[in-house]
Structure 1
Amino acid sequence: MAYPDDAIKREEDEDADEEIDETNYKTQKDAVLFAIDVSSSMLEKPPPPATKSKSADRDSAVSAALRCAYQIMQQRIIAQPKDLMGMLFFGTEKSRFRPGDGDGGEDADSLASINHTSSYPHCYLFMDLEVPAVEDVRALKSMVEEGEDPDEVLKPAPAGKSVTMANVLFCANQIFTTNAPNFGSRRLFIITDNDDPHSGDKAARSASAVRAKDLYDLGVGIELFPISREGAKFDLGKFYDDIIYRDPAAEDGSSGRVIAARSGGGLSLLGSLISNINAKQTPKRSYFSNLTFEIAPGLNISVKGYILLNRQKPARTCYVWVGGEIAKLATSETIKVDSDSTRTVEVGEIKKAYKFGGEFVYFTPEELKGFKTWEFPDGWNGKGLRIIGFKPRVLIPSWASVKRSTFIYPSEEDYVGSTRIFSALWQKLKKSEKVAIAWFVPRINTNPVLVAVIPSNGPDGGSEGDGDGSGDGEKRSVNPSHLPAGLWLYPLPFAEDIRKFDDSRAPLPRPAELTELMKPVVENLLLPKTAYDPAKYPNPALQWHYKILQVLALDEEVPKQGDDPTLPKYKAIDKRVGGSLAEIKERLKSEATHLQTVRAIKREAEDDGAGTMGKPLSKRPKTTSAAAEKGKMSNKDIQNAIATGKLSAKPVVELKEILSSWSVSTSGRKAELIERIEQWADGNL
């Protein structure tokens, strides 16, 4: 449903005056470091495909990983320009920790030369963790699209000189500590096809586990993107189960799930990597945190709220200064000035007022806060969610949506056991097919809203067991972008929000034959899995806007307009239901002809002054002039006039009267009117 912009803006304006807890509601900046394994197997290109499939892999796993990182960087540099991104190659012959340290070649005689060139052997920091610069993006683009590697970075280490994962993790630790010490989200993306890098070496496995624990203590999450080969499954139990920590209190049931991207077999490795990485999106900031949810008197739990569905539109994320040689991010500073004296106005001099009767009534900040203060029990801090009753779900109509719905999820921070009670309420509402009606104040000093607490299914629309993140992982991984299981706060309208609309018109008749003909058309044009996935249909106008910004930022040529996935696939539609649509078209044409004939006979009967049963019809009030009344012609007279050529002798007024009685356009000159009458009469009389 499309919401009016003014309603959303009004809601945002109300939020601007609220007291927001900055520790729980802050802009979530993300720092992502790609760690790509450069081994012989990762550099090996797949064999030529047996079929001429366009989706078959033709690049090595390293090339696919680089393309994936490049596309992710393109998205982030426009949508989230303050995020940090870096790229670390491990398993390389050369070693470099920081740009400028020098590219160290391997010395097979001693380890001292390795330590001289880099503190982390066989680790090459290709891009430091920072806001991607234009030069970095261009260098990565050259490596991805043209295969340029002038420094021979993508060269695996010789046999017997393999990299230790402890060094890789410790190198990542130093990068995050130095470049992103205070970021809310810090993540290490490991892309590899080796499920046991330290086979039989317990000391190396133990050291790697210690370094992984250090990263998690630092607040860095490790995400693994394994690549499985034909006939060889990636076994997490060999090594990475001790490296990847799964948070039992994670709010996303799929957060701990590792999905392997398969290479070969007609499945695009690049598409799999991009899909899996996009599924690991930046943790969404909460709309409210630790809100008290009163289910019954004396029974309280705490929940967090998220705005998962929102309208996407071009937005200015930052100001850019283009006055110099290099474009730079500008820092804005607002100063209020008196329009009369042009002097700077201090914050303490500004007062808020409302206009009543032509005069301004001033209020202090404390009085303004008092207007929106509602009575709550002690400990609620002026906000909360309270159930006041229950209703059958069928009593909540779809048109009752007046604002964006809020997704809520339990939190154990204030009330231990909130998850169990929340799950019990969710299952009971689903089983009873009921909704809860609640009184909702999301933040301090906001207006209260009546909401319906509606339960939702899991990502696959499955059973109740899907809500706790359990179930068949293969089934749930089909479409991870589906909405999660939980409770939704569905804002309900007040009495003055409902518009009165009296639709007294009778429904249009539907021929049974046409209804039957349409059934196979609908059945053959259903979306995959009969579900709409918005992630597969990006907004073409928005994508073109971002593409132009990217062209300006990287000084590239303006590309051609890309494909629009929202346009109908006419060839596929014609192949599936072309014959049925042609049959429906002919049937519709015959139905329309029959209906027009019936109406023409009825008008002719009205002209003769008798109804269908021989009874005289009630006289209508005269609304036309006497000249037009004299010039009225029956359908038979019109046919005779056309046949004898006397229609051109009629005045324009009479011709327009004839066309008006048929609900046909009366615009144009006399010759056009005559031609229009002849065409209509030829097909309907």
Structure 2
Amino acid sequence: MCEQGYKSVRDAVLFAIEVSDSMLQPRPSKDPKKSSQESPATAALKCAYHLMQQRIISNPHDMIGVLFYGTKLSKFYDEDENSRGDLSYPHCYLFTDLDIPSAHEVLELRSLVEDEDKVQNVLMPSDENVSMANVLFCANQIFTSKAPNFLSRRLFIVTDNDNPHGDNKALRSAATVRAKDLYDLGVIIELFPISQLNQEFDTSKFYDDIIYKASPMDPEAPSYLKPDSKTAEAQDGISLLNNLLSSINSRSVPRRALVSNISLELGPNFKISVSGYLLFKRQEPARSCFVWLGGEKPQIAKGVTTQIADDTARTIEKWEIRKAYRFGGDQVSFTPEEQKGLRDFGEPVIRIIGFKPLSELPFWANVKHPVFIYPSEEDYVGSTRVFSALYQKLLRDKKVALVWYIARKAAGPVLGAMMAGEEKVDEDGVQKFPPGLWIIPLPFADDVRQNPEATIQVAPEPLIDQMRTIIQQLQLPKGVYDPQKYPNPSLQWHYRILQALALDEDLPEKPEDKTLPKYRQIDKRAGDYVLSWADELEKQYATISATSGPKTTLAKRPAKDKGAADKAGPPAKKAKADGSNAGNIQAEVQSHYQKGTLSKLTVATLKEYLTSLGRSAAGKKADLVERVEELLEAK
């Protein structure tokens, strides 16, 4: 049931960038420190270039294309790379065809950004108004011919014209029909509006009829990017580039289901349909292929595995191989069907088996990635209403549901805690975390390590008060840590090296690590408080040492005994352990044995105990614990 979510890994993105006088007009920077000017079209091109630059390595199977509309020149290619003529889609210029980006295409797009002469030849505005219906139909043909089987296809429209057809109802109606065709085809249209210098972008004039807004009945439907106050105020080219690039990066990864349309059982014969998503996961560099460098030019190597018999060196067929397990000295073999039966715990399901107060869920229970689930209407109509009622009940009563969770076939069952998560938005009203239910896989007893026994000593009150001030000075802005602002430096360095090698660029000297502390700011904000706390620590240590320090009763040896001691020779060696010490160790081991906590003893204590009884003290800690248990059980 979950295979559909994994098939949608490949993504096809087509940039549709409008070319007009206002989009090509450089906008001055409001920052006096930045004298550069940049046009919205150049900012959008840089966004497309950076996205293609990232995807060519991190997502090597995704497709990206760049389409300009509103241009004086017209160019379009079909799947056979043959021109269909300039009159097929007038004022549409397909600069980069929708395909897996190559290094050559990335360099071509970069040259378009940097070469002004090439920009003037390609990005020449048309004297006539372009039909949005024609643009959407052109995008339809590109997706149909290049990515017909992709489950994730998206059209990014970058424009500053909020009403391209004015009061022409015929053109508006035609564009609405073409947008509906794209939506029926499974293509998601996303709008990146750019406000004019003296006028904000108003989506109600035209694009509300083109962009389908998300709804609970259709959670996959897109919604346009609303211009916030920050975007409206920042009209210079650099700010425009940063805002647009961050917006595209935040929407560059489509929402992919970890489990698709799995049943959520609330009771006997009472099921609804939900989908699960993995919103938090560590991203690591992935190697997509092996490259053979032994020839004249590098080639992608294809691995082949061959099983050979040990005695006859005969090639073994797949049907001849059987898997076995050792039990009691014998080999117990299983057929592939029996192997599948061993791993079959039933159909994929999320079954509620009880409820508990939220306060009984300990903080250490979250040891694995939580799964976010959301209702789906595909299998059971009315799932959204039932899901909403369950969500509101858990949220209102502060309870969690204990669930029996099988993610997919042949997956092991998991006991999880299903809890309600509230919607979280930032100051601009943009959603950061959606409302829904989270399944937290609960750990088994073997997954939880026992904490060592330790005595807790509370620091004096003056130290606590001064440290509280230091912590307050080191708080993050708004008291919130946003992990999206701190990329993985190791992963970014890996991709930066690959990018330089693929695009024949100079290798970078050092990585950019945004996780390093800002030492100057820390010293400026909390340096004096830290020094004051250190002085207070010295005072408290001196006070404690004077009042409760160890007092010795040993008298100093007179100087006259020094010669006699030298004549007497070296002192005798100290005994390893006297009788009282051995008795204490035996009592300590006996106490831990009765409690069942022998593993908490140190290796030195276990060895000393075994040595005192004349037994061998060699081996690892597990062997020592087993040897001690055998001795105590024999007694």
Q: TM-score range by the shorter chain?
A: 0.7 to 0.9
Matching residue of 2:451 = 501
> Considering only aligned residues, what root-mean-square deviation do their CA atoms show, in Å?
3.2
Residue 415 of structure 1 deviates from its aligned partner by 1.7
Separation in 1 of the partners of 2:53 and 2:272? 42
Residue 57 of structure 1 deviates from its aligned partner by 7.4
1:52 and 2:1 correspond:
no
The residue type equivalent to 1:29 in the other structure is R
Cα 1:265–1:128 change in 2 (3 A) is closer
Q: Does the CA-based 8 Å contact 1:459-1:476 persist in structure 2?
A: no
Q: SS of 2:121's equivalent?
A: coil
The residue type equivalent to 1:85 in the other structure is I
Matching residue of 2:132 = 165
Residue 327 of structure 1 deviates from its aligned partner by 5.2
Q: SS of 1:228's equivalent?
A: coil
Cα 1:28–1:122 change in 2 (3 A) is same
Q: Does the CA-based 8 Å contact 1:76-1:83 persist in structure 2?
A: yes
Q: Does the CA-based 8 Å contact 1:320-1:330 persist in structure 2?
A: yes
Q: Which shifted more, 562-571 or 362-371?
A: 362-371
TM-score, normalization by structure 1: 0.75
Cα 1:407–1:391 change in 2 (3 A) is same
Q: Does the CA-based 8 Å contact 1:32-1:186 persist in structure 2?
A: yes
1:207 and 2:169 correspond:
no
Q: Does the CA-based 8 Å contact 1:263-1:269 persist in structure 2?
A: no
106, 115, 118: which one aligns with 1:137? 106
Cα 1:337–1:273 change in 2 (3 A) is farther
Cα 1:247–1:399 change in 2 (3 A) is closer
Residue 416 of structure 1 deviates from its aligned partner by 1.5
Matching residue of 1:623 = none
Separation in 2 of the partners of 1:369 and 1:86? 43
1:433 and 2:402 correspond:
no
Separation in 2 of the partners of 1:426 and 1:254? 22
Cα 1:346–1:437 change in 2 (3 A) is same
Separation in 2 of the partners of 1:517 and 1:264? 41
Q: Does the CA-based 8 Å contact 1:94-1:103 persist in structure 2?
A: no
Separation in 1 of the partners of 2:249 and 2:232? 17
Matching residue of 2:478 = 529
Q: Does the CA-based 8 Å contact 2:156-2:191 persist in structure 1?
A: yes
The residue type equivalent to 1:264 in the other structure is A
1:608 and 2:608 correspond:
no
Residue 140 of structure 1 deviates from its aligned partner by 1.4
Matching residue of 1:359 = 330
Q: Does the CA-based 8 Å contact 1:35-1:191 persist in structure 2?
A: yes
1:34 and 2:15 correspond:
yes
Matching residue of 1:290 = 261
391, 397, 417: which one aligns with 1:452? 417
Q: Does the CA-based 8 Å contact 2:24-2:39 persist in structure 1?
A: yes
364, 386, 407: which one aligns with 2:351? 386
Cα 1:518–1:343 change in 2 (3 A) is same
In the alignment, structure 1 segments of 5+ residues that lack a partner are 1-19, 105-114, 377-381, 462-473, 610-631, 641-648, 658-685
Q: Deviations over 1:501-532 (max 9, x none)?
A: 352x3322222222222333323322233222
Residue 232 of structure 1 deviates from its aligned partner by 1.0
Residue 563 of structure 1 deviates from its aligned partner by 2.8
Cα 1:185–1:162 change in 2 (3 A) is same
Cα 1:212–1:335 change in 2 (3 A) is farther
Separation in 1 of the partners of 2:36 and 2:24? 13
The residue type equivalent to 1:565 in the other structure is K
Cα 1:250–1:494 change in 2 (3 A) is same
Separation in 2 of the partners of 1:191 and 1:561? 34
Q: Does the CA-based 8 Å contact 1:439-1:449 persist in structure 2?
A: yes
Separation in 1 of the partners of 2:463 and 2:492? 40
1:582 and 2:531 correspond:
yes
Matching residue of 1:93 = 72
Q: Does the CA-based 8 Å contact 2:46-2:113 persist in structure 1?
A: yes
Separation in 2 of the partners of 1:580 and 1:387? 52
The residue type equivalent to 2:63 in the other structure is L
1:558 and 2:507 correspond:
yes
Residue 36 of structure 1 deviates from its aligned partner by 0.7
Q: Deviations over 1:236-256 (max 9, x none)?
A: 111111211224347759942
TM-score, normalization by structure 2: 0.81
Q: How many residues align structurally?
A: 559
Residue 283 of structure 1 deviates from its aligned partner by 2.7
Separation in 1 of the partners of 2:318 and 2:120? 57
234, 238, 250: which one aligns with 1:264? 234
Q: Does the CA-based 8 Å contact 1:426-1:486 persist in structure 2?
A: yes
Cα 1:434–1:117 change in 2 (3 A) is closer
Cα 1:460–1:253 change in 2 (3 A) is farther
Separation in 1 of the partners of 2:494 and 2:110? 21
Cα 1:103–1:84 change in 2 (3 A) is closer
Matching residue of 1:476 = 429
Q: Which shifted more, 528-537 or 241-250?
A: 241-250
63, 66, 71: which one aligns with 1:84? 63
Q: Deviations over 1:580-620 (max 9, x none)?
A: 22322322233334344446xx32x2x127xxxxxxxxxxx
Cα 1:29–1:96 change in 2 (3 A) is same
Cα 1:116–1:78 change in 2 (3 A) is closer
Cα 1:399–1:186 change in 2 (3 A) is same
Cα 1:496–1:440 change in 2 (3 A) is same
| Identical-pair percentage | 48
Residue 32 of structure 1 deviates from its aligned partner by 0.6
The residue type equivalent to 2:16 in the other structure is A
Residue 229 of structure 1 deviates from its aligned partner by 2.6
Q: Which shifted more, 263-272 or 349-358?
A: 263-272
Separation in 2 of the partners of 1:85 and 1:339? 49
Q: 1:617-628 residue pairs with structure 2 within 5 A?
A: none
